Structure 1
Amino acid sequence: MTWLEFVLFGMAAFRLTRLIVFDQITDWMRRPFMDKVEEINSEGETEVYFLPKESGLRGWLGALLSCYWCTGIWVTAGMFLARTYTPLLYKPMVIIFAAAGLAALIETWVQSKNIG
C-alpha cells in the first residue's frame, strides 16, 4: 500500500465510520439496538439520548454502533477485506468516502472560521 493509498484509506474509514455512528441518515440502522431516554434539563427543556440496550446481542451491537473507536476497527477491517478480495468495488468506494471525508473536514474548518 502506498502512502497516498494509506491516506485515502484512512480518510474513507473516517467518513464511513462517522456515517455509521453519527449521521442521521443511518439512524434507522442504529435504532433497533438503542433505547430512547428523555430527561428534562434545568431549563425545563426535554433532552433526548440514545443509549445501547441493556443486554444480549442487541445490547452488544448497540454498544458497538455507539462507539466510534469500536466501529472504526470493524469498518477498517471490512475495507481491508474489500481491498483484498473485491478491488474493483474497493477503489471507487475509497475515493468516494475519502473525498466526502475531506469535504467534511474542510466544511468544519470553514464553519469554525465563519467563512462564506
Structure 2
Amino acid sequence: MLNAFDFLILFLASFRLTRFIVYDTITSFIRKPFHEMIEEQLPDGTIQTFIKVKGTGWKYWIGELLSCYWCTGIWSSAVLYIGYLVLSSVFTPIIVILAIAGCAALVEVIVEKLLS
C-alpha cells in the first residue's frame, strides 16, 4: 500500500505526464499520425481548432486514447505505478521530475489566475 507522500508524488507525476502526452506542443509528433487538426472560423472572426481522429481499427483507438485526457490519465497512472513497483530505481527519478514539473504547472496556473 502507498503512503500519503508516495501517493501525492505519483498523483502529480501522472497529472504532468498525462498533460505532456495529450496537450503539449513538444509531443505533437506522437499525436500527428493519429489526429488531423481542423480549423474553423467562428461568426465573431476567431479561429477554433478541432481534432479529428484518423483511421480505423487500432489507429483510430490510439487516436481516441491520445485525444482523451481521462483515458490517457488511466494509462499514464498505470505505467508510473507499475514502474514504481517493479523498477523503482529507474522510475523514481522520472516520477519525481514529473511531480516537480506538475507542481510548477499548478503554481503557474494559480499565479496566472491571481495576476489576471
TM-score normalised by structure 2 residue count: 0.91
In the superposition, relative to structure 1, how do residues 61 and 3 fare at CA in structure 2: closer, same or farther (>3 Å)?
Answer: same
- RMSD after superposition: 1.5
**Residue 113 of structure 1, CA deviation:** 0.6
Offset from partner CA, 1:64-110 (integer Å, 9 cap, x none) = 00101100111111112211221111111111000100110001000
Q: What secondary structure is seen at the aligned counterpart in 1 of 2:33?
A: helix
Tell me what 1:83 maps to: 84
Tell me what 1:98 maps to: 99
**Residue 44 of structure 1, CA deviation:** 3.8
Offset from partner CA, 1:2-51 (integer Å, 9 cap, x none) = 11010111000000000000111111100100122222211344433222
Aligned length: 115
Tell me what 2:72 maps to: 71
TM-score normalised by structure 1 residue count: 0.91
List, as ranges, runs of 4+ consecutive aligned residues in structure 1 with deviation greater than 4 Å: none
